[in-house]
Amino acid sequence: MTNVNWIVDGDGLQAKHGFRVALLNDFEAVGYGIPALEPEDLVTLNQAPVVPKAPKVVMGPGTGLGAAQLMWDSGIRAYKVWPGEGSHATFAPRGWKQKALSRYVTNMCGHCEIEQVACGSGLELIYEFLQTDEAANRPDLLARSKPKKKKAAEISAAALAGSDPIAVEAVDMMYAIVGAEAGAMALRCLAKGGVYIAGGITPKLLPRVQAGALLEGFLMRKGRAPFHKILTETSLFVITNEQVGQIGAREFAKRLLTTA
């Protein structure tokens, strides 16, 4: 596993215990949970028609940045989820400040992945980066001899309370990056079935998310007009039900019971 030093052997578990085992990527499980969600489990950020059987995209920040695509399988008359590792692709910054962030991470790590600036630890890194600005641009930093570090939970709390302008900017910057990647994924598969933002962080930061940075990143207003139009016609949701992964695991287990 990428962020935990575990090896999980599904075949070994099945052989040992004698029952069928399916081993799912975390966002693969989230993907299988999406068709089973109720309307109250979703908050709409971009209202557009959801086309039946059209591709869907799910992604979101947590410990890392998870992502998957849902494609309709006419043979089983249901969605099949295709997990991926696209969040480990190179970060494509927009604007001078994101470019500076990319250089900051590259100088530190040798390479800047999307995930490194779009998850819990990425939020901490963005907060640290924003404090490297020229002191003259931020008089409130003049008294600081070096960047102050905060944990993601502290940054999130300060952003929600409005008590730390840099925390607010860090959260908004992270969600602009998440939104841009969500929009890119939507274009890659023409996700007219909707784009869904999941993960453990987003429901807790919903008031900041609804402030607009994620949607602005998603809509790609400065891109070529036909593709901006496609995104305006693609629904964008936040999943607020934090049990969606367990729901997806249940739904997939039900498939195991009904297939040979």
- pLDDT score recorded for residue 154: 96
Q: How confident is the model at residue 228 (pLDDT cuts 50, 70, 90)?
A: very high
- pLDDT score recorded for residue 45: 97
The two tokens of residue 149 are 């570090």
pLDDT in tens, 162-199: 999 999 999 999 999 999 999 999 999 999 999 999 98
The two tokens of residue 139 are 């008089």
Cβ neighbour number for residue 240 with a 10 Å cutoff = 16
C-alpha closest to that of 67 among 195, 161, 154, 170: 195
Tell me if 235 sits within 8 A of 50, measured CB to CB: yes
C-alpha closest to that of 256 among 81, 17, 12, 19: 19
- Report CA-CA distances (Å) from 209 to 175, 190, 237: 7, 23, 11
C-alpha closest to that of 235 among 198, 188, 184, 183: 183
The two tokens of residue 15 are 């052989």
pLDDT higher than 70, residue 124? yes
- pLDDT score recorded for residue 138: 67
Tell me if 183 sits within 8 A of 218, measured CB to CB: yes
User: What's the CA gap between 220 and 94, in Å, rounded?
Assistant: 10
